[in-house]
Amino acid sequence: MTTRALVTGAGGFLGSHLYARLSSLGWDVVGTARKPSDRSMLEADVMDKSRLREIAAQHLPQIVFHIAALTPAAAPKAILEDYLRVNVIGTTNVLDVVREAAPNARVVLVTSSAMFGQTNAPDGVIDETSPLNPVNPYGVSKAAQHHVGYQYTIQHKLDVIRVCPFNLIGYGLPLGLVASDFARQIVAVERGEQEPVIRVGDLSAKRDFLDVEDAVHALIALVDKGILGESYNLASGYAIPVADLLNKLIDLSSTTVTAEIFPNAVKNTVPIQIGSYAKLAAATGWQPQISLEQSLANVLAYWRTVKNEEIV
């Protein structure tokens, strides 16, 4: 029997990769996006509950991947109220609609490592029991979303599992995320459109990067093997300084560039984040497969296909 799935945020980075993968596997998948770029997707805003209800009633999904979110990359000027409205109230809208139209569906709720913020662990390793210490409005909203998912499981008996990605990278990575910002500038240098200088902020923070395709495989594995009410980190298990990430991108380039740190660059308030994926591995057998170098090559390959007039 073909599995019926609904993917919110199917026009975004993770959502588009998941939507494509499910389609290739033969799933009966409906993707929603606020501004669809793919004709096969449906236009829907998570704040429009009646539209969500209409789509859910027509499709009757067995699996719902709720990925739609407001992020700093997409909305750098957003304030806490904006994030809470979309990431928390929007999530309750999705969960309420699932309760009404498809009460037996499994919901895979995608949060973010931003909810952890600063870690107290000496080695910087974060597991699912680590305290939530968000340091920015986006992280606050994702921490609240994380709790909402659990509340709907306990209070409303909805089958929700929560998945917390760390820093996803790969083909199609949007601007506003560090690897993509670096790659776009490197490609501009390759094209002769920019002097051979990459303008950067603080490079000292250490981050855990995972390829988006590895993330997609984990989400699909959790459909059958995730435990109701549980949360799973989605990470590579190691971190590198952002400076090293930049150097790897430069090494993959056909040109020579130098880095210039912005004057008065603000030091990152979260010096290190490393995600432990031990719980995910124990539940599903999942392991990261794609090297960081390949992921970065894919980011560069994407920007080499993008024309200047297509950059929004």
| Residue labelled with tokens 């037996």 | 104
Can you give the pLDDT at residue 124?
85
Over 90: is that where the pLDDT of 312 sits? no
* Residues 145-149, mean pLDDT to the nearest whole number: 98
* Residues 53-58, mean pLDDT to the nearest whole number: 97
Can you give the pLDDT at residue 121?
83
Over 80: is that where the pLDDT of 308 sits? no
* Residues 249-257, mean pLDDT to the nearest whole number: 92
Q: Please, where are the H alpha helices in 242-291?
A: 242-251, 278-284
Structure tokens at 237: 């298990």
Q: Which domains does the chain have, with CATH numbers?
A: 4-170+209-237+274-282 (3.40.50.720)
Over 70: is that where the pLDDT of 152 sits? yes
Strands 206-207 and 240-241: antiparallel
Q: How far apart are CA 21 and CA 173, in angstroms?
A: 17
CA-based angle 62:163:150, to the nearest 5? 80
Can you give the pLDDT at residue 310?
61
* Residues 211-228, mean pLDDT to the nearest whole number: 98
Q: Which residues pair with 66 in a beta bridge?
A: 8, 109
Over 60: is that where the pLDDT of 309 sits? no
* Residues 125-134, mean pLDDT to the nearest whole number: 96
- CA dist 11 to 15, 19, 35, 225, 239, Å? 6, 9, 8, 26, 28
